[in-house]
Amino acid sequence: MRRTDPLEFLVQLETYTLDSAFEAYGDFAVARADGKTHFHGNFADLSAVFDFVLAGEEATRVELAIRRHQRGERYRAADRDRRLRLARGWARRQTDRWGDVSATGGAVLRLAEAGELEKAEKVMAERTQV
């Protein structure tokens, strides 16, 4: 995999949306023991993995751009869409022996469709740990 040029990344960040799934893997930026920051992730609407290490002001500038992007409506809408797709998929896999969606699956699907993603995710987490 080729290393991403940080300037190229900043240009892509203006046009494309980060994939919020990468928040689970360091939220796009991981501080290293040597004081540098490792940036990594992908975009939701462009297959362009980024992976680079920066230090100092350059690292700060890139991290601030990422955080600003995460606060934007485009990122939040893509995150909601991703979470809704996950909830729908989970709910559809919760079937009874006749192939009908279970009561729990139906409840998760109704919550997700109503915009109650946090509640749907809580039910999914509780049921997955059983």
User: Computed over its alpha carbons, how large is the radius of gyration of the chain?
Assistant: 18
| Domain residue extents for the chain | 6-71, 76-128
Burial label for 101, CB within 10 Å (0-12, 13-18, 19+), is middle
What pLDDT score was predicted for residue 106? 80
d(CA 60, CA 54): 9
pTM attached to this predicted model: 0.74
Q: What is the per-residue pLDDT for 1? A: 47
Q: 25-37 burial, b for 16+ CB within 10 Å, e for fewer?
A: eeebbeeeeeeeb
Helix (H, G, I), strand (E, B) or coil at 26: coil
* Cα angle: 55, vertex 20, 113; to 5 degrees: 165
Q: For 3, which DSSP code? A: P
Q: How does pLDDT run along the chain (130 residues), one tens digit per residue?
A: 456 788 888 889 999 999 999 988 889 999 999 999 999 999 999 888 899 999 999 999 999 999 999 999 999 999 988 988 888 888 877 766 666 667 778 888 788 888 888 888 888 888 776 5
pLDDT value at position 100?
Answer: 66
